[in-house]
Amino acid sequence: MRVLTLPLIADVTEADKITALELVLQSKAMARSSRNSQLLKYLVEQECAGKSDEIKAFTIAVDVYGYGTDFDAGENSIVRAQMNSLRKRLLSYYKEEGLNDGIVISIPVGRYVPTFNRRASCIPVFSRTGFRARAIAMCSETASLVSCFLSRQLRRLIG
């Protein structure tokens, strides 16, 4: 089966970001983890408020998890561990419940700032039900891989 894939579109509005956040927070995947929900909500709200440059392990530990100002990210890996957990939950969500979501929230490894991308549109040449479901799944995975690859390339260019 042939599938035509259109490229990712980066123009995501603040309203789109909030809608995407609400969809993820209402999911079964996030309902099982209040820590991940709190973390994702904080990250998206900070990004929407234009405070991306202030999102650091220290501020997350203090603002989200209630640690004191003496928190040392070098000695306490709570933020890194929770970010890893959140990334896994997001991947799981977009492979299952969020398969048809138009906006994908991701957090590149080594970063704390979320990225928002419109999911690539997929047009299956054959529209049989089984083929169609596989085509949609293939496009979702491809979009995630492309987004991850582009994020890594951008990080290398920026430094």
Please report the DSSP string for 106-125 in residue order: E--TT--S-EEEEPPPEEES
d(CA 132, CA 122): 9
Question: What b/e sequence results for 14-31 when a residue is b if at least 16 CB atoms lie within 10 Å of its CB, and e otherwise?
Answer: eeebeebbebbbebebbe
Residue 122 scores a pLDDT above 70: no
Global confidence as pTM: 0.69
- Look at residue 2 and tell me whether its pLDDT is greater than 60: no
Dist CA 41 CA 152 (whole Å): 24
pLDDT over 60 at 152, yes or no: yes
pLDDT of residue 158: 73
| Secondary structure class of 5 (helix, strand, coil) | strand
Alpha-carbon distance 109 to 100, whole Å?
A: 24
Asked if residue 137 has pLDDT above 90, the reply is no
Cα separation values, 157 from 58, 80, 150, 152, 153, Å: 26, 24, 11, 9, 6
pLDDT tens digits along 34-78: 999 999 999 999 999 999 999 999 999 999 999 999 999 999 999
For the cut 80, the answer to whether the pLDDT of residue 5 exceeds it is no
Q: Which amino acid is at 123?
A: I
pLDDT at 26 > cutoff 50: yes
Alpha helices in the chain (DSSP H): 14-25, 28-31, 34-48, 57-63, 78-95, 129-158
**Average pLDDT score, the chain:** 81
